[in-house]
């Protein structure tokens, strides 16, 4: 594990010579594509740091909440590992710093192959920062934009739905509610789906003596994927993330938001639309419609649990066989931490076997062959037992 030192930003002292040094060390726009992959990044801005702790800064990602800067950097050791560094400005107030510390604590609680690890931090620096694994790939909203706003097919939706449910299960296992589940925080790459950005997450376990520092004012990131109770500033449970899951799947199905496609409504008007149930679910495939509809129930107590959703999605979509540009959800050792998680994995793997058998001539022939061999073996065993007992 790489741990960042307490060194704050290292800025060039000024002058043209130092500016040239930055140009020499920072890849060109074309070079960045090779270094950081296809994810959309932004160029450095005047006054940005050359390095933060033991990391060389390469480029920017979109700014985070609380006025934080977000950079892609690489470690200065032999591994040249890519990381994401999120840091506050030096003039950030005490409350903002405390919120930032909670964000780091919450993200660090989660052990998941679908959530980037925290690999370093310095919250006492003049400009506090933390360091996280860099996940190469595309956010879901950029993925859809590259496909010219064509929604995902049923098989791709199945994989997104199951992968996101597994990521949320890992988050909730750490007693954390994400509270900002939206397409820009869902990264897709060749390993599957990743959930990122815990900037407004909430820990539901025993609070610290000074309590929570996340107020209703910053209780939701994007209104478009926030639950009704989140928009009202009410206490939240895991059911809030369930609602956001349903909204993400509805969005991915039609490549547009099902309530406010042009993001024109005020939060108050948007909440009225949710309460009235005016959500366009027409693009959602019939085999996912029931799960999405139940996840989007206005009353959080009437929404299904993640385990119920995982079971229902698996059962209703297991016979899909369309092509997919999104990889199949992966299984990791951490998926066996609870009985519900084990059952989810077993159901998913059994479905893959069933589909392989039913959907291909080779699989069907192999299944018949296995059945014949087992029948022959069973017959021989019974014959031997009959001979021993009655012979």
Instruction: Yes or no: say if 177 and 204 are a contact pair by the CB < 8 Å rule.
Output: yes
| First and final C-alpha spacing in the chain | 68
- Give the number of domains in the chain: 3
Does 3 map to a domain? no
The answer to whether 243 and 304 are in contact (CB under 8 A) is: no
- pLDDT, one tens digit per residue, over 280-304 is 999 999 999 999 999 999 999 999 9
Q: Does the active-site annotation cover 180? A: yes
Q: pTM value?
A: 0.77
Helix, coil or strand: residue 110: coil
Confidence of residue 353 (pLDDT cuts 50, 70, 90): low
32 pLDDT above the threshold of 70:
no
Whether residue 256 sits in one domain with residue 291: yes
- Structural domain span for residue 123: 9-133
Q: What is the pLDDT of residue 372?
A: 74
Do the domain assignments include residue 234? Answer: yes
CB count within 10 Å of CB 266 equals: 10
Across the range 295-315, mean pLDDT stands at 94
Strands (E), 282-343: none
Q: Give the pLDDT band of residue 44 (cuts 50, 70, 90).
A: confident
Query: Do 180 and 312 fall within a single domain?
Result: yes
Is position 271 within any domain? yes
Could you say which of 133, 166, 191 is where a domain stops?
A: 133
Over residues 50-76, the pLDDT tens digits come to 999 889 999 998 877 667 899 999 988
Q: Nearest Cα to 60, choosing from 85, 38, 77?
A: 85
Closest listed residue to residue 157, CA positions, set 378, 345, 325, 387:
325
CB neighbour list of residue 290: distance below 8 Å, 6 or more residues apart: 312, 316
- pLDDT at position 391 is 63
* 200 plus 331 within the same structural domain: yes
* Per-residue model confidence as pLDDT tens digits over 218-240: 445 678 999 999 999 898 999 99
Question: Can you name the residues that pair with 17 across neighbouring β-strands?
Answer: none
Is 198:332 a contact under the CB 8 Å cutoff?
A: no
| 179, 43: one domain | no
Question: Which of these is catalytic: 69, 122, 141, 180?
Answer: 180
- Listed in order, strand segments (DSSP E) in 152-219 are 176-177, 186-189, 192-195, 202-203
The per-residue pLDDT for 231 is 92
């Amino acid at each position: 594990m790489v741990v960042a030192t307490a060194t704050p930003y290292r800025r060039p002292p000024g002058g043209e010579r130092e500016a040239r040094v930055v140009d020499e060390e920072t890849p060109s726009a074309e070079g960045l594509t090779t270094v950081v992959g296809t994810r959309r990044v932004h160029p450095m801005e005047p006054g940005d740091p050359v390095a933060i702790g033991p990391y060389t800064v390469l480029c920017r990602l979109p700014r985070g909440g609380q006025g934080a800067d977000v950079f892609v950097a690489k470690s200065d050791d032999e591994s040249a590992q890519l990381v994401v560094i999120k840091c506050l400005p030096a003039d950030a107030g005490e409350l903002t710093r405390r919120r930032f510390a909670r964000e780091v604590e919450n993200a660090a609680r989660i052990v998941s192959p679908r959530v980037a690890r925290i690999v370093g931090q310095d919250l006492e620096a003049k400009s506090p920062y933390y360091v996280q694994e860099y996940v190469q790939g595309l956010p879901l909203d950029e993925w859809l934009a590259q496909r010219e706003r064509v929604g995902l097919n049923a098989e791709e939706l199945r994989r997104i739905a199951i992968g996101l449910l597994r990521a949320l299960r890992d988050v909730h296992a750490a007693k954390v509610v994400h509270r900002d589940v939206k397409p820009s925080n869902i990264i897709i790459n060749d390993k599957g789906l990743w959930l990122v950005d815990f900037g407004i997450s909430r820990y539901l376990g025993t609070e610290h003596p000074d309590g929570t520092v996340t107020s209703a004012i910053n209780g939701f990131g994007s209104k478009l994927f926030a639950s009704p109770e989140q928009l009202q500033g009410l206490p939240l449970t895991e059911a809030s993330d369930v609602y956001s899951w349903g909204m993400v799947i509805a969005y991915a199905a039609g490549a547009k938001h099902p309530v406010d496609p042009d993001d024109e409504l005020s939060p108050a008007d948007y909440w009225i639309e949710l309460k009235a149930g005016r959500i366009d679910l027409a693009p959602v495939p019939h085999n996912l419609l029931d799960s999405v509809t139940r996840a989007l129930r206005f009353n959080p107590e009437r929404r299904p649990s993640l385990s119920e959703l995982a079971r229902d999605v698996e059962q209703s979509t297991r016979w899909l066989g369309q092509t997919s540009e999104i990889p199949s959800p992966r299984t990791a050792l951490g998926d066996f931490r609870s009985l519900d998680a084990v059952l989810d994995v077993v159901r998913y793997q059994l479905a893959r076997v069933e589909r392989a058998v039913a959907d291909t001539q080779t699989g069907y022939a192999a299944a018949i062959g296995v059945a014949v061999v087992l029948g022959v073996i069973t017959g021989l065993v019974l014959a031997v037992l009959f001979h021993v007992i009655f012979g």
